Amino acid sequence: MSRTGIAIGFTGTRNGMTDYQRDVVEHFLSCLSSDIPIAIHHGGCVGADEEFHIAARRFTLVCTIIHHRPENTSQQAVGLVYNADRPARPYLDRNHAIVDESEYLIATPAGMREVMRSGTWSTIRYARKQGVPHLIIPPRTTR
């Protein structure tokens, strides 16, 4: 997005967010200014993408949600309303597109140890490589 708005990407697991991750995401979204247009980019899969989508609709007033569809639709969340769709792509390409179109990435991985064959961690690594600022929300507090 331009300086008149912000583009936020999201990545998470198909198992969904923990209560802690959901609380942090909702707090983050509630702190965004209602005067700034926000573009949300996510993959539209069941689990964390779906939860983030619902939270973004609830907590941000000026929000455009862009759906980066995967070619494999077996994990696709149904019933979500999007403002824009991107062409279907293989998972890795789709995850790169989410990062490439975002100025900031929020990630909710299943654990804090990097996993090589994890779409969430692959997306985080790509954001690092591209220099995209990112927030990794751990699955639970360390208390």
Total number of domains in the chain: 1
A 10 A CB-CB count for 125 gives 14
Domain assignment present for 142: no
Residue 120 contacts residue 137 (beta carbons within 8 Å): no
16: its two tokens: 């969904």
We report the CATH number of the domain holding residue 94 as 3.40.50.450
Question: Cβ-count burial of 39 within 10 angstroms (0-12 exposed, 13-18 middle, 19+ buried)?
Answer: buried
For 42-52, what is each residue's pLDDT tens digit? Answer: 999 999 999 99
Domain assignment present for 78: yes
- Residue-range definition of the domain harbouring residue 12: 6-136
pTM here is 0.92
For 97-106, what is each residue's pLDDT tens digit? Answer: 999 999 999 9
For 13-56, what is each residue's pLDDT tens digit? Answer: 999 999 999 999 999 999 987 788 899 999 999 999 999 999 99
Q: Which helix (H) or strand (E) is 91 found in, with range?
A: helix 91-100
CA–CA separation, 1 and 64 (whole Å): 11
Residue 33: predicted pLDDT? 73
